[in-house]
Structure 1
């Protein structure tokens, strides 16, 4: 079951490769990190976000689909016609 769920999250992200993404991640100690970038690639276990070039020490970050499932990170796709939040609901 869990593997099917992770595959479903991956498939939903596949549609947005190349799109602008807003990322909210838990930075620990009640700190939330917010970054923007481009969803660069999806792989069987992880996906890669190329961060916007500002003063970030990292150019790319990778997360697993389980991070979305456990709500460790929030992804929002920024499109011309609005925003799409990538979430997993058990409904």
Structure 2
């Protein structure tokens, strides 16, 4: 299990991108991979939330920082200038 300090570091790194547009790629198991675009809405002690704007509604999904660490979830941050940066969660 990842230590609390590693997960805390991931949270602090992710806080810099709150409000930014992101591309999300999540492995849901059984060969099902979900790719969506949304906005990083918030970071909390154990999870972070993403607001997904779909055709007729707005959904919010949440993932744990351990999902980033185990690469079950991958994030690409899209900046205003059009540059894309893959968010890397490294174990220390």
Q: Which residue of 2 aligns with 1:77?
A: 77
Superposed structure 1 runs of 4+ greater than 4 Å apart: none
TM-score, length-scaled by structure 1: 0.88
TM-score (norm 2): 0.87
Per-residue displacement from partner, 1:2-61 (whole Å, max 9, x unpaired)? 1111011001110000000100001222121100100001101100100022267x7000
Deviation of 1:90 after TM superposition, in Å, equals: 3.8
User: Hey, what's the Cα distance between the residues in 2 that align with 1:70 and 1:27?
Assistant: 13
1:38-77 correspondence to structure 2 within 5 Å: 38-54=39-55, 59-77=59-77
SS in 1 for 2:89: coil
Aligned length: 90
**Cα separation, 2, equivalents of 1:90 and 1:53:** 33
- Structure 1, unaligned stretches of length 5 or more? none
Distance in 2, matches of 1:90 and 1:63, equals 18
Structure 2 segments unaligned to the other structure (5+ residues)? none
Distance 1:71 1:26 in 2: 9
* CA–CA separation in structure 2 for the residues paired with 1:63 and 1:41: 11
